[in-house]
Amino acid sequence: MGERVVIVGSGIGGLASAALLAADGRDVTVVEKEPAVGGKARRVHVDGAAIDAGPTVFTLREVFEDIFRTCGSDLAECLATRPAQTIARHAWNESQRLDLYADPQQSEYAIGDFAGAEAARGYCDFRTEARRIFNILDRSLMRQSKVSWPLPLMWRIGLWRIGDLVAIRPYESLWKVLGEHFADQRLRQLFARYSTYCGSSPFDCPATLMLIAHVEAQGVWLIDGGMSALAEALKALAERNGATFRFGQRVEEIETAASRVSAVRLANGERLRADAVICNADPAALAAGMLGEHAKRAVRPTPPSRRSLSAYVWLAHAETSGFPLSRHNVFFSPDYKAEFDQLRAGQTIADPSVYVCAQDRDAHAGPTPAGRERLQIIVNAAASGDTHAPTGEELETCTRAMTRSLERCGLQLETDMPHSLVTPQDFEALFPSTGGALYGRASHGWAASFLRQGARTRIPGLYCAGGSTHPGAGVPMAALSGQLAARTLMADRASTRRFHPAATAGGMSMQSARTGSTA
């Protein structure tokens, strides 16, 4: 029997780890408290319709192609996807609308028509800078198990490339730097929204996060069956290589012996022996003792003030009229700074920006579907789900504010639409010890990327994976974290043997286990 690995949780990061470790010959068991895989990439049934309730944007497809290839399979044969021609539709009112496209030249023309030739040139300059930042950090930071600032990062980038270290602009806010590219405040607001992809404020996060725009510009893909189909495909991939899944079972404790991981004890009293454990949960759950007193020392706690954003999410099955919806739509508020000031104060946003994923639409505006369609509607919220339970009146106020924002831009929702409203308190129940924060630690300040929990923990044999760990939030980042956790685990296990294998799963070069920082 191979080395025994228990993975706690079956989000995208845990599933990626399970597939890679099983393909490498490990005896992998995934323990999941919910009845299905996916974690945040889950589905909720409303009015008889299955609605994706988590992430909706699929990018960096090559990360998943690499995982499937390493596991002896082909993503294209396991998952039906197609490229989106329209990335997103944006609106400020009934007359001000702007689409961004997969073809950057088409986006440039659209921006020029929307805001003038100078704005189009600013977009070209912005794309160039975002691409450079991504290229600098892709291999040197995002695909490394953990890199500290500044010397280890300088070493990864190359000591002779000091200009690249300056070019990632860690000491300037995203909002400030966007002002260098866009005099039109609507465009500044549009590209600032990428900070919310990792639950952060554009006024507090570093301009480094411009790289997210480049990730999206590389391609957005639509998945038949939604994001939950990706989770199911990863599960099947892991099972083909021998991984076992146990659903509806909660982990009570991660046990240690001789100062390293030894077993996982379930709530029903069953004990699973383990040579290694990967925790695919928010590291805050470890720090809070949700997985036992022994595991508390594995990670540093994240203060509530450092949490990322949560959200109010309406999962609706409703008729719509007026605004010509695309698959991804953003309806902006007239005062972006006021939104984030209210979030910082822990208040409900009075006049919010709203994201709408119309899950029955293709990536272009077509005729309105006959009858009701599946919608995921998101408004940002403070991560206070562990300290505040919203009243019925507060929820009604929030819903009215959301519908006003949509109506300002011309979108009408069916009155009394069938829906389920998910609050920060609900997210806290799903993901304990987070307050409902959906992205782990907020990416605020120059050091934020280096303060995220890495794959290794302070307890030998215990690793972390998921969107709340390095390299960050989002579906491809969560998959990368799972890949990094598997790679780090294999390197650490190899270092205890008499010789070191020359290659590991994952399709990329690997640093020595002795050089990785411990978080």
Structure tokens at 190: 């549009």
Strands 276-279 and 81-83: unpaired
Mean pLDDT per block of 10 residues along the chain (519 residues) reads 90 98 97 96 95 94 96 96 94 97 95 98 94 74 55 47 57 92 97 94 91 87 93 98 97 95 97 98 95 93 93 97 96 97 94 97 64 96 95 96 98 95 96 95 77 90 94 91 95 68 37 31
| b/e burial code for range 118-139 (CB count within 10 A of at least 16 → b) | ebbebbeebbebbbbbbebbee
pLDDT at position 141: 60
For the chain, which residues make up each domain, given as ranges?
4-44+52-81+225-303+443-495, 87-221, 305-430
Q: pLDDT at position 516, please?
A: 32
What is the pLDDT, as a whole number, of residue 161?
Answer: 54
| Token pair recorded at residue 348 | 């409900």
Strands 221-223 and 81-83: antiparallel
Could you give the CA distance from residue 268 to residue 334 in angstroms, rounded to a whole number? 52
Q: Name which of 431, 405, 189 is nearest 310 in CA terms.
A: 431
Q: What fold is seen in the domain 4-44+52-81+225-303+443-495? A: FAD/NAD(P)-binding domain (3.50.50)
Query: What span, in angstroms and rounded, lies between the C-alpha atoms of 186 and 349?
Result: 19
Could you give the angle at the alpha carbon of 312 between the alpha carbons of 221 and 281, nearest 5°?
70
Instruction: Report CA torsion sign: 365, 368, 374, 379.
Output: positive
Read off the tokens for 39. 């974690």
CA distance 20 to 25: 9
| φ, ψ of residue 231 in degrees (nearest 5) | -60, -45
0.75 exceeded by the pTM? yes
Per-residue model confidence (pLDDT) at position 452: 81
Instruction: Kindly state the helix (H) or strand (E) to which residue 398 belongs, with its residue range.
Output: helix 392-408
**CA–CA gap between residue 161 and residue 171 (Å, rounded):** 18
- Cα 323 from Cα 331, distance rounded (Å): 11
